Chains A and B, each alone.
Chain A
């Protein structure tokens, strides 16, 4: 890890359980993100992804641990960290334009109203909502609402984008266009992005690194998959890349089998939470990159052989 722009340091989140005591959603998570890096997080529903994102946003306080951004522990939300909410969170009494302008006016309160509207219009056009500026959120479809949320987050030109399943309610065509736009904006502006998704292809297309989270309660960051596809991949043909299936199979294998029993896996071979294993799947079989020296137990319980033994790892690293 050369530079830690965002560093999650040992965060734990507990909620009071109904019958007294507490449920631990996740425990002692460590993760570092470089500036300009695009990180996707994948895991089953309810494992605590949104909670991690809220902690990063400063909206939620972890029970233990801290998050350091640019050398400073975060203390509450910041306009430099834009959030795209899973639930859209549009203000229903404002129009589409009103919602986006609200964000623009918060970032640049001294701008003239016309300049603020011009900035908002630029991003409304970008997400393809031209002509719907004066509609209220209640008059929009789920996908259109989500696009307003995206426009609102992009319009303030943040340093960090935190996205909670931003494309989940969209049709394939719109989703593709917006993925392209978000990717383009992130690359052009050197945006650091953190995105939750359930869509493996989306993660492979967008992310530099994919963090896989095991099931809760007591969820943990199980593995980091480094995306081996070239940075200039195109949405139209990235799935034809020779390394694509290796990555995809590895992730799907994790989601289907390993995420459930990850606690056993940890128990059987030991696990350093501060050094989450980094895997760089190279076709035809994925290869451990950073974790190469570690002794690994046999992978008999994992069909598809997504993780090689330590001996097979050396050629890739």
Chain B
């Protein structure tokens, strides 16, 4: 066979996928002992206890559920029954807002740190202490001060996205090659023009790498944050379906969370490629 590496990799990927699906299907087929009991009681206990059917849904169940959700992603039947599309939209909106706030805050501060050794030293202890704090640890404080669960989760997204962007921006700005700055100096380029025409393009790949790390973290954190505060969002959806014991819905949601996370990452990867320059 003369297939390219890409083609062969695709074949292997498909094979792994099929093998996993088969294993999953077989594993969830299982039929335990069938109990003899009063039909009324059996109905209450559900199929798991009475028919020996596994509580774990098979791939076909999940596939059907997914199809069902995709048919009707945006219905809204009250606070506990919204389409999965609506829930995802809530999560994406929170991530988007918190993330944009973080961009607006982290990049200027990162510039300052990168350009001024004084500020770099002065701010370093704060960053070192604040960075390792789990974003969820801020949640009670946020709920207490902001008094709004929606805004609190946006704040949590903000606080978790800020650090990678700030640190990468500072690093990228500090690492701008001296010869490029010297070009600007010999041409008597003013500070503002230098920031936008030399430092920003030179540091852009590093800054975008930080932004890509941040969007990944933000998407991880939003699910946990929404489980905590409830109400809306894909994290709340997962927790709600767990309380409903609908494992099928939980698995469907997990799948969707993964897909959206991948899309967000791809958008940032595309942007990074746009600003990367070969040397």
Residues of A within 8 A of B (CB): 57-59, 76-79, 81-83, 85, 87, 89, 91-93, 102-103, 106-107, 136-138, 156
Q: Are A93 and B189 touching (Cβ within 8 A)?
A: no
Q: Are B187 and A103 touching (Cβ within 8 A)?
A: yes
Pick the contact of A82 from B186, B189, B198, B279 — CB < 8 Å? B186
CA distance A92 to B204 in the complex (A): 13
Please classify the interface of chain A as helix (H, G, I), strand (E, B), loop, or mixed, using the class held by over half of its residues. loop
Can you report 26 residue pairs joining A to B where beta carbons are below 8 Å apart?
A59-B182, A77-B185, A77-B186, A78-B186, A78-B188, A79-B188, A83-B182, A85-B179, A85-B182, A85-B183, A87-B179, A89-B179, A89-B180, A91-B180, A91-B201, A92-B278, A92-B279, A93-B202, A93-B275, A102-B197, A103-B187, A106-B187, A106-B189, A138-B277, A138-B279, A156-B187
Measured between beta carbons, the chain A residues less than 8 angstroms from B275 are 93
Q: Which residue of A lies closest to B276 (CB)?
A: A93
CA distance A58 to B201 in the complex (A): 25
Q: Are B188 and A77 touching (Cβ within 8 A)?
A: yes
Which residues between 186 and 224 of chain B lie within 8 Å of chain A, taking CB atoms?
A: 186-189, 197-198, 201-202
The tally of CB-CB contacts under 8 A between chains A and B is 53
Given contacts A77-B188, A138-B277, A138-B279, contact A89 B201 (CB under 8 A): no
The 5 A-B residue pairs whose C-beta atoms are closest, nearest first, are A106-B187, A138-B278, A89-B179, A93-B277, A77-B186
Interface string of B223-234 (1 = CB under 8 A from A): 000000000000
Pick the contact of A79 from B186, B197, B201 — CB < 8 Å? B186
Interface string of B251-262 (1 = CB under 8 A from A): 000000000000
Measured between beta carbons, the chain B residues less than 8 angstroms from A78 are 186, 188
CA distance A251 to B183 in the complex (A): 33
CA distance A81 to B186 in the complex (A): 7
Q: Which residue of A lies closest to B197 (CB)?
A: A102
Measured between beta carbons, the chain B residues less than 8 angstroms from A106 are 187-189
Residues of B within 8 A of A (CB): 179-180, 182-183, 185-189, 197-198, 201-202, 275, 277-279
CA distance A92 to B277 in the complex (A): 6
Q: Looking at A77, A83, A138, which has the most chain B CB atoms within 10 Å of its CB?
A: A77
Measured between beta carbons, the chain A residues less than 8 angstroms from B278 are 92, 136, 138
Measured between beta carbons, the chain B residues less than 8 angstroms from A77 are 182, 185-186, 188
Measured between beta carbons, the chain B residues less than 8 angstroms from A89 are 179-180, 182-183
Task: Report the minimum CB–CB distance from B208 to chain A (whole Å).
Answer: 13
CA distance A107 to B180 in the complex (A): 17
Pick the contact of A91 from B185, B188, B198 — CB < 8 Å? B198
Q: Which residue of B lies closest to A85 (CB)?
A: B179
Measured between beta carbons, the chain A residues less than 8 angstroms from B180 are 89, 91
Q: Looking at A82, A93, A156, which has the most chain B CB atoms within 10 Å of its CB?
A: A93
Measured between beta carbons, the chain B residues less than 8 angstroms from A91 are 180, 183, 198, 201
Task: Report the minimum CB–CB distance from B79 to chain A (whole Å).
Answer: 50
Q: Which residue of B lies closest to A57 (CB)?
A: B186
Measured between beta carbons, the chain A residues less than 8 angstroms from B183 are 85, 89, 91
Q: Looking at B180, B182, B183, B185, which has the most chain A CB atoms within 10 Å of its CB?
A: B183
Q: Which residue of B lies closest to A80 (CB)?
A: B188
Q: Are B187 and A59 touching (Cβ within 8 A)?
A: no
Q: Are B187 and A102 touching (Cβ within 8 A)?
A: yes
Task: Report the minimum CB–CB distance from B232 to chain A (whole Å).
Answer: 42
CA distance A93 to B279 in the complex (A): 9
Task: Report the minimum CB–CB distance from A262 to chain B (whole Å).
Answer: 31
Given contacts A91-B180, A93-B277, contact A59 B197 (CB under 8 A): no
Q: Are A59 and B279 touching (Cβ within 8 A)?
A: no
Measured between beta carbons, the chain B residues less than 8 angstroms from A87 are 179
CA distance A77 to B275 in the complex (A): 29
Task: Report the minimum CB–CB distance from A51 to chain B (whole Å).
Answer: 13
Measured between beta carbons, the chain B residues less than 8 angstroms from A107 are 187
CA distance A81 to B182 in the complex (A): 13
Q: Which residue of B lies closest to A138 (CB)?
A: B278
CA distance A143 to B278 in the complex (A): 18
Measured between beta carbons, the chain B residues less than 8 angstroms from A156 are 187
Measured between beta carbons, the chain B residues less than 8 angstroms from A59 are 182, 185-186
Task: Report the minimum CB–CB distance from B220 to chain A (whole Å).
Answer: 32
Measured between beta carbons, the chain A residues less than 8 angstroms from B201 are 91, 93
Task: Report the minimum CB–CB distance from B158 to chain A (whole Å).
Answer: 30
Q: Which residue of A lies closest to B182 (CB)?
A: A59
Measured between beta carbons, the chain B residues less than 8 angstroms from A85 are 179, 182-183
Q: Which residue of A lies closest to B180 (CB)?
A: A91
Task: Report the minimum CB–CB distance from B70 to chain A (whole Å).
Answer: 42
CA distance A83 to B183 in the complex (A): 8
Measured between beta carbons, the chain B residues less than 8 angstroms from A82 are 186
Task: Report the minimum CB–CB distance from A95 to chain B (whole Å).
Answer: 11
Measured between beta carbons, the chain A residues less than 8 angstroms from B202 are 93
Task: Report the minimum CB–CB distance from A187 to chain B (whole Å).
Answer: 23
CA distance A244 to B197 in the complex (A): 47
CA distance A93 to B277 in the complex (A): 5
Measured between beta carbons, the chain A residues less than 8 angstroms from B198 are 91
Q: Which residue of A lies closest to B185 (CB)?
A: A77
CA distance A57 to B187 in the complex (A): 11
Task: Report the minimum CB–CB distance from A211 to chain B (whole Å).
Answer: 22
Given contacts A91-B201, A92-B278, A102-B197, contact A79 B187 (CB under 8 A): yes
Measured between beta carbons, the chain A residues less than 8 angstroms from B189 are 106
